[in-house]
Amino acid sequence: MAEQVRAAVRPGAELCIIVPTFNERDNVAELIGRLKSCLENFSWEVMFVDDDSPDGTADVVRELAAADSRIRCLKRIGRRGLSSACVEGMLATTAPYLAVIDADLQHDEKLLPQMLDTLKQGDVEIVVGSRYAPGGDIGDWNASRARMSRLAVRLSRLVVPRELTDPMSGFFMMRRSVLDASVRKLSAIGFKILADLFASHRPPLRFSELAYTFRARHAGESKLDSVSVWDYVMLLLDKMVGRWIPVRFLGFSIVGAAGVAVHFAVLTLILQGLHRSFTTGQAVATFCAMTFNYTVNNVLTYRDMRLRGVHWLRGWASFVLACSIGGFANLGVASTIYGLGRGWVSAAIAGILVGAVWNYAVTMMTTWGRPRK
């Protein structure tokens, strides 16, 4: 009996391929088939980390997993984001080698064996599939997307080595030791986990790149949108100054600065276009700016805690109330400092800072931090 039990025990997989998914049900079976074909001589498993896809992606994965123990499904509820999904998937496996690949079949899975061999035989810690290394190609991207990608690569130089040709790649393989050394420093913001890893790991990562041609999406729709751009900017800011200033506060402040522009635009319209009184214009402009700030922060800064329906209305009310109190705090501090003879510039800046910190701290607790019933 003991011999039968020992015979039934199999060692864990050597390689785990992490696949973050959202509405990718039509790509799952095809990707698994391709992985089986190119990894038939290796010990592997594939971890689909699904962000509660409404199209039933997780159901498809579970159905296939019932017939193949190498297929695993980790379903997340109430959380979104490629980077955080990758981190959770990596932490949920015991494999010593970890790969990340998209579910849309745009990455060349046939490179996986070469990536694994490179890690085993060489001195590198991470192997990156690169579209920009000699021999690589971005495929059939239009000019706009190509320009945006090149700009993102240039911006990434603020936090990653210049020698890395494709820091925006979502296709790579690394040793588990890389995760262990950097996981507590990762921002896990947005969709560029590779740049996050390079910026978080100390000492600098030893890496190699393998060129490949980016393919067209197999099925479904791209998730790249304006919110992805915002997340990328927040990631860069977090890597540069996050140790001193919370990146969510930076996002809140950027939205607030945009709200100032909205305020003056509305005020100008009411004063010069509608010829109303300043008091009326100031009141309406303040109301519009607060509503703008709340709406944009709800979509961007607090997207992971986004309010909808009746919760949106309650959140708006608490946001307006908190920011109104913050306005009085701004005025009080500024007036006090100005009365001490510090000058109007210093007084104004102090008032703005106090108001901004108040608004951020209070709305974080009362608007987005309240439990939803």
Q: What is the domain-level CATH number for residue 110?
A: 3.90.550.10
- In the predicted model, is pLDDT for residue 372 greater than 70? no
Asked if the structure places residue 371 within a domain, the reply is: no
Note the pLDDT of residue 113. 95
Asked if the structure places residue 373 within a domain, the reply is: no
Residue range 120-168, pLDDT digits in tens: 987 899 999 999 989 988 887 778 878 888 888 888 888 888 899 998 8
Please state, in angstroms and rounded to a whole number, the distance separating the CA atoms of residues 366 and 86. 30
Residue range 185-204, pLDDT digits in tens: 988 887 788 988 998 998 99
Chain centre to alpha carbon of residue 1: 50
Give the pLDDT band of residue 302 (cuts 50, 70, 90).
confident
Note the pLDDT of residue 142. 78
Asked if the structure places residue 158 within a domain, the reply is: yes
Instruction: Tell whether 136 and 194 lie within a shared domain.
Output: yes
The total of structural domains in the chain comes to 2
Mean pLDDT in residue range 165-185: 92
Lowest mean pLDDT among 30-44, 312-326, 332-346: 332-346
Which among 210, 235, 260 is the end of a domain? 235
Give the pLDDT band of residue 328 (cuts 50, 70, 90).
confident
Average pLDDT of the chain?
Answer: 85
Note the pLDDT of residue 373. 58
What is the residue range of 202's domain? 2-235
Asked if the structure places residue 207 within a domain, the reply is: yes
Instruction: Tell whether 213 and 348 lie within a shared domain.
Output: no
Asked if the structure places residue 356 within a domain, the reply is: yes
Asked if the structure places residue 277 within a domain, the reply is: yes
Instruction: Tell whether 345 and 275 lie within a shared domain.
Output: yes
The answer to whether 289 touches 266, Cβ cutoff 8 Å, is yes
Note the pLDDT of residue 333. 72
This prediction has a pTM of 0.80
Which among 211, 235, 259 is the end of a domain? 235
